[in-house]
Structure 1
């Protein structure tokens, strides 16, 4: 068996070469996850913040308003202090009232449309039945019996009777249907009026039967008829009439106040009082005039005496 002898220097050289080759492989191998793209800072998408950038803080939620907080509101010219909880309650009632009114209005419109469509069909049936009977209504049966043979006359009478029966039946049924619809409409009207009466005291604090009459009279003076106003069951419309009347009353009072306002009396101008002229002044003036004109001694004495009298 041949011995293989290896020199120690050869072992060291072989080991170093192997390590060197292994290192070279790792250096030449691309790093895991690395790409040939540009550096990270250049690859950042415009408009997108890089990871790690702190986000803007979210605004703090608004503080809840306490229910017992009071605020001042003005209703019909009068100021009131109302708690927030009462405003919330009234807002809920108003929203519920609006929703209920909308639902009622939609249901009423649907019912009115159905009634109108049915009335149109019934009227068409009645008109057709009348047109079918109209030719027979002009027939003189006595003359027909004398001029026609018995078989033809019998057929005429049967056709005439059939057309008449059909007309009477259609008219009777149409009247019954219309009467039922009117009864349903009256019932629906009473229900709407009842619902309105439940909420009107909330919308109009001074609501009463007398106040309703006052609003009706105001509506009539504004162009409505009494029947038109009686048919109004929407509480919102009645509230609008109430507000319109209150506004007109306020305007009338303001106009009356301007017309009847009393002006502040001014003191009449009086002529300024002049100091009364004394008899002595008059005498002295007259004496001086005479002295200037005459130059006599007596006039000079008189003028001097007049001065002394002052």
Structure 2
């Protein structure tokens, strides 16, 4: 393993262990394939898809914990591959000798999954994969079956805000009815497990919040002879918002630019196609991103506006 594979493997193992402990599972519970008695060899295969690269994940029992990352984007950058479903994509890779069939032999069936690929933040995808894997195993465990409630629980909006993303500060801090209405629609979709609807709406919310942030600096732009419309254009895109954030007075660095681009990449993938990969973890990612934008940028812009 190279250094990157080693770091990600440690991250995966810690994530899995934390989920076991958080949910009060015994670390030697045989319902969980990566318990303390088992060693696993994970594979992470990167291929192209119709609109953005994806990961194929799977695992096999091994004498030691390992992670192998296979980057096959160059070999799969063709429509004959990207238009196939996931099962046929694997068959294509084997039949064209892009990967060896032996690395799939004896794979653990429940370990197979796909995730979106993020160039600069791979931990997002690896974290989502481990969560999916654990949740799949947990649902099949006796602990899950004996603790199922007899009735469906509907989470109140305010409880959701406070316990998950602390949106109460955001709601009280943004005096824009349209934004709050849009957020509440996303919350409704989330609470009803409509992940595609929630994630699609979150993309618009992120743009809206970035617009409100830039708008709070209108006086700054006027002082420097800059019109806000010249930054955003008549029909602003994600690139326009990021460009606005790269300029004074916000002036984000490359790392923060990559983070915002990651959020838009997730939004764009959802907007163009839905193959079933859109799920709760992706909604959580975008909601966390929205709160980060609020805390890191909007709050400062509001203080600037109120100081005038």
How does the TM-score come out when normalised to structure 2? 0.22
Kindly name which structure, 1 or 2, has the bigger radius of gyration based on alpha carbons: 1
Structure 1 or 2: larger helix share?
Answer: 1
The higher relative CO (CA closer than 8 Å, separation ≥ 6) is in 2
Structure 1 or 2: larger strand share?
Answer: 2
How does the TM-score come out when normalised to structure 1? 0.22
